[in-house]
Structure formats: C-alpha cells, structure tokens
Amino acid sequence: MKRNTSKTLLSLSIPEDWRIEIDRRAESLNLTRATYATLILAKWWSDGKPPVTQPDKLMQLAKK
C-alpha cells in the first residue's frame, strides 16, 4: 500500500504543562517539539485511532 506523503501544517494550543513535558521529552531524544508531537499522533494512528473522549467513542460506534 502506498503511503500518503502529502503533509498539512497543524497549529494548536495546549496547556503550558503539556508543552513543557513535550519539550522535555523531545529534547531528550534530540527532536523538535513538532516532530515529537507528530510521533504522538503517529502512535494514535498506529494504535487504530482509538476514541479520545466518550462522545468520540459513541460517534465511532454509531458508524459501525
């Protein structure tokens, strides 16, 4: 299966304590903040895109 290589810039606001933790982990791996955040989303994707809230879960169940 061919992987989609097109990319979109995603801008978001997060709590400061989240940013601090992302920066801490990214720095320990010699990654940028954006790269580390992308890895978080890649993990969610590879885990099968599980719902992140109860309403999200209900919407996904309704689609089945």
- The predicted-structure confidence for 14-62, as pLDDT tens digits, reads as follows 999 999 999 999 999 999 999 999 999 999 999 999 999 999 999 999 9
Domain residue limits at 41: 16-63
Whether 6 is covered by a domain: the verdict is: no
pLDDT at res. 59: 94
Q: What is the pTM of this model?
A: 0.81
Q: Please name the residues in contact with 60: beta carbons below 8 A apart, sequence gap of 6 or more.
A: 51
| Count of domains observed in the chain | 1
Least Cα distance to 40 among 19, 61, 17, 16 occurs for 19
